[in-house]
Amino acid sequence: MSYSNSIRCQQQLAGIEAIDYFLVQQWQQQLAGDVDELIWHLLLATCWSQRQGHNCLEVNWLAQQRLWQHSDQPDSGYLFPSPPTLHDALAKLASLLTPSIPVVIAEQRIYLQRLWLHEQAIAEQLANRMQRQTVSAAACQRLTSQWPTLFSNTSSDETDWQQVAVANAIGRPLTVICGGPGTGKTYTVTRLLAALLIAADEPQRIMMTAPTGKAAQRLSESIAGAKSQLLEQGVSGDLLAAIPEQAATLHRLLGYRPDRMALNYHAEHPLPCDILLVDEVSMVDTAMMAKLLDALPAASKLILLGDVDQLPSVDAGCVLADITERDCGYSAQAAELIATLSQQVVPVAANSAFDYQTMLRKSHRFAGAIGQVAQLVIQCQAKASWQLLSHHQGHSGQQTLAFDHEVQLVADDQWQIWLSRAVVAEYRGIFKAQSLSDGFAALAAFRLLVATRVGERGVEPLNQRIEQLLAQQLNQANMPPELLIKPSQMYRGKPIMVTENDYATELFNGDVGLIWPDEQGRLMAWFEGQEQGQPTFRRVSLSRLPPVEPVYAMTIHKTQGSEFGHVAVLLPQQRHELLSPELLYTGITRAKQRLTLCASESVWHHALSQRIVRFSGLKQRIAERLNLQK
């Protein structure tokens, strides 16, 4: 090969890591024959693709692609040949593979064996759950008699997709409910859980989970609120008591044991549940979904909630996107049951393979400018979305810095003034708070979101800068020492984010806390929780804290599962590979009341031209199994 060592390889190929080089070198020695340059780079691309979030490498996509270019060297990287040459190389690679090499070739895809096995397992489990079970006449009668207590205010002539989602889930081992923020996913699923309890002939054990601590907390809060509403509507308190109000993270649910790098729950020791609800499924990667399904009893019901337009998982996979279809219809059997239970009429389609899903289509929160911007962004309407934003841009002085509108655009060249005045002002409420609960409320009122960790507009320099600005503006000469803001130290009111999982303290990467004194005035790290529908606060001594960082600014990736009253999104000054419509949509939809964007028009247009694509064979694997079952 032309690369004498890993350093030389990384110098010539942008984005390649040393582990990629060494793996391919190891496999080269184990192949049953000589390897030419093209096969070597095919294996390298297979390693690289997994780190890009793909389940596999689509060989057809590689044709005449130049990968691993340096931005300032257009002829750098490696240029893959035409499809016929690639297909010949793939056939040759297949003949050279030995059992010791963890690589699988399927159709025109190359997998790392681990992801191939996970994809196969997911396809098998989900395909087995896609066949509707018979709903008894007695169950239908119980449901129709109690349906009005589950859904009030049903006089609209429009299709009520929340009712459709609940009715469509009855008798299904697998249910998928998708929708953007404000479409009422947890409102709907709480009624679904109640409906499943009504329909069941025996008591049901329900468990709830989400990928992160914040997402689990939000799910718990939403379920508790929806239960209170159902109680007021006349739903039995005894029935509602069977719906839990505490959701666990996926790691906690499965009983991850770091000392043994193993899970407590798996196929031989399944979860003790009859119904499992999983929220924020777009964040669940292929490996975690395989482990979750492995631990699920075969007879249990699985309910998946998520927003398919959000960012996909950090690690490889796009499970939610693979198992959903935007414009699918319903089978005649499904449409009949939906009409019987909910009086809603839905389209019947000849191809109804995806009728286990329901898309919630009406946002009850984002009817204004935030919702308009979000929809234009996910549709990649760069020109229209920028025009809409421009209507909300001030021109000079205080106008540019004011937050008088639901949506505000700050001129890109004004970002430093905006940061020092407006952004810092938003965080003052934390330090004016008189109680821990008020401090957390102030923290939830605003967050600055960015795309990257490094660079002038990255998380790390921004957190340092905001901390210094707060100290300059809020510290006073006569202030008690315990109230001073001390950059790079712990101080009262400092927001922190955990950056490493720590099972001893049960704190996990992404958990957000607040530094606050206890009853004796000792600084502690406090973390918000939820029990019995009420907020709780857990303290951890500073000496026991895992690694943390300030969280005045955070990456958009870290915000999934979170919401804030006012969100400010600051984009890089230059084009960046991380920018995408999905990233912007995720950041924008974290805002509950107000949104501020600071970006240049060129970077905005660039971001909306880079839709995320993830390669996977999961949809095909499921289809193959469904055909076999027929």
Binding residue ranges for ATP: 179-186
Annotated binding site: 179-186
Q: Round to whole Å and give the CA distance between 38 and 23.
A: 16
Q: Round to whole Å and give the CA distance between 278 and 292.
A: 10
Whether the Cβ atoms of residue 524 and residue 537 lie closer than 8 Å to each other: no
Residues in the chain: 630
Q: Round to whole Å and give the CA distance between 111 and 118.
A: 11
Encoded amino acid at 55, one letter: N
The tokens for 401 are 């810095």
Residues contacting 55, CB < 8 A, separation 6+: 111, 115, 118, 119, 286, 316, 317, 318, 614, 615, 616, 617, 618
- What's the DSSP call for residue 269? B
Report helix, strand or coil for 297.
Answer: coil
The tokens for 433 are 């708070």
For 323-362, the three-class secondary structure string (H helix, E strand, C coil) is: CCCCCCCECHHHHHHHHHHHCCCCCECCCCCCCCEEECCC
Nearest residue to 344 via CA among 163, 149, 199, 153? 163
Nearest residue to 194 via CA among 159, 161, 155, 227? 227
Q: Round to whole Å and give the CA distance between 508 and 76.
A: 40
Rounded alpha-carbon distances, angstroms, from residue 36 to 100, 177, 377, 515: 20, 48, 44, 58
